[in-house]
Amino acid sequence: MTGLHFVLPGDPATRTGGFIYDARIIEGLRARGLEVVVHSLPDGFPEPSPATRAQARALFAGLPEGARVVVDGLALGVLPEELKGPAARLDLIGLVHHPLAAESGLAPERQQALFDSERTALELVSQVITTSRHTAEALAPYGVPAGRITPVPPGVDPAPLAEGSGASGSGGPGEGGLALLCVANLVPRKGHDLLLGALARLADLDWRLTCAGSQARDPDWTGRLRRLCGEAGLDDRVTFRGEIGDAELEALYHGADLFVLASHYEGYGMVFPEAVAHGIPVLATRTGGIPEAAPAEASILVPPGDEAALTAALRRLLAEPAAYAELRAKARSARDGLRRWSDSAALFAEALGYGAGGYSAEGAAR
């Protein structure tokens, strides 16, 4: 069986959607009998140090002639110079979670530099796999022909129904109102400030919010969010849990009534189907790949950056038990229709031309 190489932009155990996607796809490909070799570059992307760039050059130079190499987009997009030579002797495949220039808060010159760099890098690959149809379409300005792009959205594991905050086990809110859960690293793109601003306007209603996600990726932003909580008098109603393990996250899902995330942009958003897999309804923003990730019947989506719309949607679900109960019932019904990780691995293998008969150059060059 032809071997396949994956190049990752940091520690494979990093708990972000991109790294989790990579890990689950690799696991699924191996389960299908494919030999997969994983190479990890040092952390620091998308701003690699000179030492990291040198390590990347050495890595690509050391791969065998004709090797098939999937390069995660977080690294691919900023390594065009390191890939130009190896591209002539390797079969490079780009795995794009979302364009690097789509990150929130970038200065215009940095945004343009990332766009130019990623466009150059994408010219060097034989094909591109994206994690959503939206991201596939977003690559049009980068000059990638649509025929060379295959969307392979993430999957989700089967999960037990969340009990919710109600002690009765009915799944509804308990004493203290709705238990809101937000799972996202504390970075500007995730819109925690908008969520806190909306909740500050709803101090008259019963709710509590738990935020799970790394606080170390942007310490200044984390500090700003904590100040916002203090200034709005929300310290006793908002809990920042930081980066947590699977068991702790499962416990948070089990006790949650509503999943909330006010992202400015998402290439996909694996947390949305994860929430629905637990029967938890979703309130999020209609941006990027979120409409693909969050089942329409189980979700309320508002315009990104619209704090007033987010506040209104929250108020309705917090103040009208019937509205919340209806959305929750739809989330429970939507669970069985979610894509599984085995389905995603099968799609990924097919995109690479690994069918029942193994790899074929003709299939890979579709």
DSSP code string of 8-45: ESS-TT--SHHHHHHHHHHHHHHHTT--EEEEEPPS-T
Cβ atoms of 60 and 79 within 8 Å: the answer is: no
Q: What is the tens place of the pLDDT at every residue in 189-217?
A: 999 999 999 999 999 999 999 999 999 98
**C-alpha span between 60 and 67 (Å, rounded):** 10
What is the predicted pLDDT for the residue at 185? 94
What is the predicted pLDDT for the residue at 304? 96
Let me know whether 200 and 331 are in one domain.
yes
Q: What is the tens place of the pLDDT at every residue in 117-176?
A: 999 999 999 999 999 999 999 999 999 999 999 999 999 999 999 999 973 344 455 556
Count of residues in the chain:
366
Cβ atoms of 177 and 205 within 8 Å: the answer is: yes
Let me know whether 66 and 137 are in one domain.
yes
What is the predicted pLDDT for the residue at 218? 93
Let me know whether 315 and 360 are in one domain.
no
Which burial class, exposed, middle or buried, applies to 362 when counting CB atoms under 10 A from its CB (0-12, 13-18, 19+)?
A: exposed
What is the predicted pLDDT for the residue at 366? 35
Residue 73, CA atoms < 13 Å, CB-side half-sphere: 27
Let me know whether 202 and 190 are in one domain.
yes
Let me know whether 18 and 82 are in one domain.
yes
**C-alpha span between 307 and 73 (Å, rounded):** 31
Does residue 321 lie in a domain region?
A: yes
**C-alpha span between 270 and 262 (Å, rounded):** 14
Does residue 162 lie in a domain region?
A: no
What is the predicted pLDDT for the residue at 357? 43
**C-alpha span between 241 and 226 (Å, rounded):** 12
Let me know whether 190 and 210 are in one domain.
yes
Let me know whether 115 and 204 are in one domain.
no
What is the predicted pLDDT for the residue at 105? 82
Does residue 161 lie in a domain region?
A: no
CA 182 to chain centre: 13
Buried/exposed code over 277-291 (b: 16+ C-beta within 10 A; e: otherwise): bbbbbbbbbebbbbb
What is the predicted pLDDT for the residue at 361? 44
Does residue 223 lie in a domain region?
A: yes
Does residue 276 lie in a domain region?
A: yes
Cβ atoms < 10 Å from Cβ of 53:
15
Does residue 169 lie in a domain region?
A: no
Let me know whether 20 and 143 are in one domain.
yes
Let me know whether 8 and 145 are in one domain.
yes
Instruction: Please give the tally of structural domains in the chain.
Output: 2
List per-block mean pLDDT (blocks of 10 residues) for the chain, which spans 366 residues.
83 88 96 95 95 97 96 97 96 96 90 97 97 94 95 94 70 70 96 97 96 94 96 96 93 97 93 97 96 95 97 97 96 95 96 68 42
Let me know whether 328 and 355 are in one domain.
no
Let me know whether 332 and 186 are in one domain.
yes
CATH of the domain at 352: 3.40.50.2000
- Rounded to whole angstroms, the maximal C-alpha distance in the chain is 65
Find the domain containing 67 and state its range: 4-155+340-364
> What does each C-alpha distance from 246 to 163, 183, 214 come to in angstroms?
17, 12, 14
Let me know whether 216 and 344 are in one domain.
no
Does residue 320 lie in a domain region?
A: yes
**C-alpha span between 169 and 186 (Å, rounded):** 31
Does residue 44 lie in a domain region?
A: yes
